[in-house]
Amino acid sequence: MQKPKYKRIVLKLSGEALAGQSTFGIDHDVLYSIARQVVVVVKQGVEVAIVVGGGNIWRGVAGSAKGMDRATADYMGMLATIINALALQDALEQEGMGTRVLSAIEMKEVCEPYIRRRAIRHLEKGRVTIFAAGTGNPYFSTDTAAALRSAEIEAEVILMAKRVDGVYDSDPEKNPNAQRYERLDYIDVLNQGLGVMDSTAASLCMDNKIPIIVFDLTKNGNILKVVMGEDIGTYVGR
């Protein structure tokens, strides 16, 4: 029987991914589809951590662009990620999976504070560990949080779940002739501004040699396919 290629992964979910075809809120069909896919992966013996964004509820950059104090707008975005994390936790537990939400902003009534050793222990016990509130600091995206947490827990790969099937040289929704990359080096992502993740996150992955796989979340079963080593999406690394 084929074994998973990765033992410990970080799955990066954007808030927009949880919204499905809507522009706001949480699509419950999408939420439960993700939960079921994660359960299948965990049953393969893979330790799964999830970093979730909050763009389906609030985007700090957008708030800042309209005159709001950037730090305040970013903190609001961090609180939005906690809402998404709790929704994802509930969906996973409905599927019979043990979970923990660890927040970079202390909110002891609803989740645990982020402590690196505690996070690793949860993973070792087979619990899906959801990291919320980004890094806990304004001016840093949840992409950077994914890179940072991956380095801290020694994850083998970051799975960037998108609505498209990889990284393209231009927007495939606007350009029907856009070409998909199968492999990229970190420096290509930085130099060409390809939008895999922000430059801070990409640099952190490069410095810590954490590979990134960008894949299509909308196709059911793709999370397992990536974990098993199937060649889908775009691989970023060396």
1 band by pLDDT with thresholds 50, 70 and 90: low
81 within some domain: yes
* Predicted model pTM: 0.94
3 within some domain: no
2 within some domain: no
170 band by pLDDT with thresholds 50, 70 and 90: confident
Provide the residue range defining the domain that includes 40.
Answer: 8-236
Q: What is the pLDDT of residue 46?
A: 98
pLDDT higher than threshold 70 for residue 173: yes
Q: What is the pLDDT of residue 144?
A: 96
1 within some domain: no
193 band by pLDDT with thresholds 50, 70 and 90: confident
Percent of the chain predicted with pLDDT > 90? 82
40 within some domain: yes
Q: Can you give the three-state secondary structure of 127-193, one letter per residue?
A: CEEEEECCCCCCCCCHHHHHHHHHHHHCCCEEEEEECCCCEECCCCCCCCCCCEECEECHHHHHHHC
pLDDT higher than threshold 70 for residue 220: yes
Q: Give the count of domains, the chain.
A: 1
Q: What is the CATH number of the domain that holds 28?
A: 3.40.1160.10
The alpha carbon of residue 226 and the mean position of all alpha carbons in its chain are separated, in whole angstroms, by 14
The residue with greater pLDDT, 238 or 53, is 53
Average pLDDT, stretch 42-68?
A: 91
Q: Please say whether the beta carbons of 160 and 214 come within 8 A.
A: yes
pLDDT digits (tens, 9 = 90+) for 86-124: 999 999 999 999 999 999 999 999 999 999 999 999 999
Percent of the chain predicted with pLDDT > 70? 100
pLDDT digits (tens, 9 = 90+) for 21-50: 888 899 999 999 999 999 999 999 999 999
Q: What is the pLDDT of residue 86?
A: 98
